[in-house]
A and B are shown apart, each in its own frame.
Chain A
Amino acid sequence: MAEVLVTLKPVVNDPQGLVVTDALHTLGYPEVVGTRVGKYIEVELDSSDEQEARSRVDEMCRRLLCNGVIEDYSYSLRRGAG
């Protein structure tokens, strides 16, 4: 399985993150300096070659899962129960 994290680029303003920061302050966490909201995507794969899987997942990120204009991505591969 690939666990993909998609995050807004640092230069992109994240109003959702600002609201979450405000809410955490309200709940009594003044130490929170900032929050940014991203996406977590699990991609289940049927693949035996790790290198091949890695390059395919990278391509999936570039073509669909991440919009390079506004987002960055990272991923890690994890061997499934199979």
Chain B
Amino acid sequence: MPARVGIAVFPGTWSERDCAHAVGLSGAEAILLWHKDPTVRGCDLVVLPGGFAHGDYLRAGAIAAFSPLMEAVKEFARGGGPVLGICNGFQILCEAQLLPGALLRNQGLQFRCQPTHLRVDSGRGPFMSPLPPAAVLSIPISHGEGRYFADPATVARLEGEGRVAFRYCSERGERGEEHNPNGSVDDIAGILNPTGNVLGMMPHPERACEPLLGSADGLQLFKAALPQLVSR
């Protein structure tokens, strides 16, 4: 039986069908979860996709963080279930305090929709352990509020515990201001919870899941957690 991947849908989510397509390519079955669902309906993995949940009112992700579904996602994550938050999903994970820090308005104030390169900087947990260390992935971003911010102590803790999943970099993996599209602290593009089963990232792996889209690197992330799920 294929793994069941639940994809959360809030009012204003727009990336759920792209994610479902990527999940299909990975060999798993995609199930859409409504924000009012009180459970994750037995899914093996939960994806919080991109969009503008509840219109980004108040702050991006602030209202969605209090959905009935998010209570279920918190419980699922506490039990070790893998959760992948993409873009608005990352913002929701931060607002729900499943991940530390916050996402602020981009440094240049512009909405940035462009290809980026990401360096794999962690090997922790179901998402990161299958990826080659220090590999450079080509995955695009599409956001106006993606500047990752946390206080220096939190950033130091993330670094020390190997919880910085991805950093923006050049094609060859070099860091530098010119490769950081939004002003994120320490070029951080994605982070993990302490146990590594919750990953939040601003870039969109579902938009890089087949060669036709210019890159298939994102598919690795959808595939990464699956073998471990099937053997569970």
A interface residues (Cβ-Cβ under 8 A, vs B): 11-13, 15-16, 19, 64-65, 67, 69-70
Contacts and interface: CB of A to CB of B under 8 A. Distances in A.
Contacts of A11: 151
A40 to B, nearest CB: 13
A71 to B, nearest CB: 8
B104 A70 contact: yes
Interface in B100-127: 100-102, 104-109
A19 B104 CA distance: 16
Contacts of B150: 69
A16 B151 CA distance: 20
B183 interface: yes
B108 A64 contact: no
A4 to B, nearest CB: 11
A69 B149 contact: yes
Contacts of B151: 11, 69
Contact of A69 (B101, B106, B107, B109): B101
Contact of A13 (B94, B95, B101, B183): B183
Main SS class of interface, B: loop
Contacts of B106: 15
A69 to B, nearest CB: 4
Given A65-B58, A67-B95, A15 B109 contact: yes
Contact of A67 (B62, B66, B105): B62
Nearest to B185: A13
A15 B107 contact: yes
B179 interface: no
A18 to B, nearest CB: 9
Given A67-B59, A69-B102, A70-B102, A12 B109 contact: no
Given A15-B105, A19-B109, A67-B62, 15 more contacts: A11-B151, A15-B107, A15-B108, A15-B109, A15-B183, A64-B58, A67-B59, A69-B94, A69-B100, A69-B101, A69-B102, A69-B149, A69-B150, A70-B104, A70-B149
